[in-house]
Amino acid sequence: MTSRDSDGLAGLPLQEVRSAALERARALGCSHAEVRVERIRSQFVALRDGRVETTVDDTEIGVGLHVVREGSIGFAATVELNAEAAARLADDAVNLAAQTSAALGTRVEMAEEPSHGEVRWSSPYEVDPTAVPLADKVALLEDWSRRLMASDRVDHVAARVLAVVEDKHYADLSGTVTTQRRVRIYPVVEAVAVDAESGSFESMRTIAPPVGRGWEYTSGRGWDWDAELDTIPSLLAEKVASPTVEAGTYDLVIDPSNLWLTIHESVGHATELDRALGYEAAYAGTSFATFDKLGTLRYGSPVMHVVGDRTTPHGLASVGYDDEGVESQSFDIVRDGVLVGYQLDRRMAAENGFARSNGCAFADSPLHVPIQRMANVSLQPAPGDGPSTEELLSGVDRGIYVVGDKSWSIDMQRYNFQFTGQRFYKVEHGRLAGQCKDVAYQAQTTEFWGSLEAVGGRATYVLGGAFNCGKGQPGQVSPVSHGCPSGLFRGIRVLNTRAEASR
């Protein structure tokens, strides 16, 4: 790792802070203690119709200490970065542990993790996106906006980019000391066409995913922006003129740009072990994939193979080590269609008979306690070359090809859901037959994944994702990616959203 990967922490008293916090925690009898010093810089630029609407440049710096003492947990944080304040954190965290011990039904234990010594890690990137001048960001979004507004098929354009650089210094009582940098970026352009007579409108958004890359992503490294922007006006015009869908049962071929979100909601959240155990019941729900079903639940068809991975290149949830000092790993969640694993932090692992966490602890701020968060949860492509998207479509007589994500809804057990998309194509006798609109597909999780007949090959695989996965109280957000190939699903219910809204 080059020196640039720790520049965000340059000049901060890292050794003094970590030593003071951990030495005081050890002296107070803590069996486990971990300290994080973080600097998180977030930038957001948004234009509407080629004019600047919003700019934000935010930097958060602080230190948090998480302890376990006498079977109870405590956490304290501060924005003061000095040895005295760090030592006081240990007193505050231990006092909180003493106060909360009576509310815990069982003693808190942490799964073992070996010491990894002093290590450094960085996500792969070329240009720090937060170091790019604001004028350059605005100029890029103005150019993208002008390209779309030059078309008489487009009435309005919104363009925005969000960039985050997260520098983190971690240390614990076992001797692990990590210094890490995570870089991520999400550019988006959306075009709108308005029917002046009826007042109705349609929109078309880029399907380029957020990624763990730098500013080079905007110039074509990892995505062909020119090609996508060139197609949007004609795609939007076709959508405006397309017929409304006839509700019914269809075979679906779902593009990775849409399927990643279905994976996130119906598999990613459902296989977080804290949620499956009922710890999220008061916020965003629990899970139908309860712990007693591990190893037996038929989640989907035999072609369904889902992996949790914290090591994926350019993945938004990829790290070298998590916020409990656990080295990043790859692990099976669903294999041959059967539930075989969960996402774990060290507490969930220890309490439920797992020898080791699989590295899924994260806090979105130095001022927040780490909780179990999602890995990059991805559906694996077919082995070998596998079928192309066109080959999947060729096996469909009457169906719909779904591209791009939009709105969604899922129940509190991650079981009944409904998803829409950016655009939809009728499939007739194995061939695309033009766009349709007002489409939503609806299913139950195991019914849906059970209908998965085939997945595309590696050439169809795309890493999608989101910056803003929410969880916890107080709420935290985390970035996460979901890779997947195209998928063929048989006999899925399709609703007409316009008819459902009684319009």
Nearest residue to 298 (alpha-carbon basis) of 136, 450, 486, 495: 450
Q: Which helix (H) or strand (E) holds 406?
A: none
Q: Is the peptide bond before 479 cis (omega within 30 degrees of 0)?
A: no
Nearest residue to 465 (alpha-carbon basis) of 182, 185, 161, 205: 185
pLDDT at 2 over 60: no
Q: What is the pLDDT of residue 120?
A: 97
pLDDT at 303 over 70: yes
pLDDT at 7 over 80: no
Write down the number of H helices and E strands in the chain: 10, 24
Average pLDDT over residues 44-60: 98
> pLDDT of 456-488, one tens digit each?
999 999 999 999 999 998 899 999 999 999 999
Handedness of CA 20, 24, 27, 33 (dihedral sign): negative
Q: What is the pLDDT of residue 1?
A: 34
Q: What is the pLDDT of residue 119?
A: 98
What is the largest distance, in Å, between two alpha-carbon atoms of the chain?
Answer: 74
CATH number of 3-241: 3.30.2290.10
Supply the DSSP string of 113-126, one letter for each residue: -----EEEEE---S
Supply the DSSP string of 297-309, one letter for each residue: -B-S-TT--EEEE
CATH 3.30.2290.10 in the chain, residue ranges = 3-241
Q: What is the pLDDT of residue 503?
A: 59
* 8-state DSSP, 224: -
pLDDT at 3 over 60: no
Q: Which helix (H) or strand (E) holds 346?
A: helix 346-351
Sequence letter at residue 500: E
Look up residue 447 and give its two tokens. 């019914």
Q: What is the pLDDT of residue 121?
A: 98
Average pLDDT over residues 290-312: 98
pLDDT at 6 over 60: no
Asked if 13 and 82 count as a contact pair (C-beta separation under 8 A), the reply is yes
Look up residue 84 and give its two tokens. 């005295």
How does residue 214 score in pLDDT terms, banded at 50, 70 and 90?
very high
Average pLDDT over residues 227-242: 96
Average pLDDT over residues 123-150: 98
| 22-52 core/surface letters (b: 16 or more CB in 10 A; e: else) | bbbbeebebebbbbbbbbbbbbbbbbebbee
pLDDT at 284 over 50: yes
Asked if 311 and 269 count as a contact pair (C-beta separation under 8 A), the reply is no
Look up residue 416 and give its two tokens. 């009944």
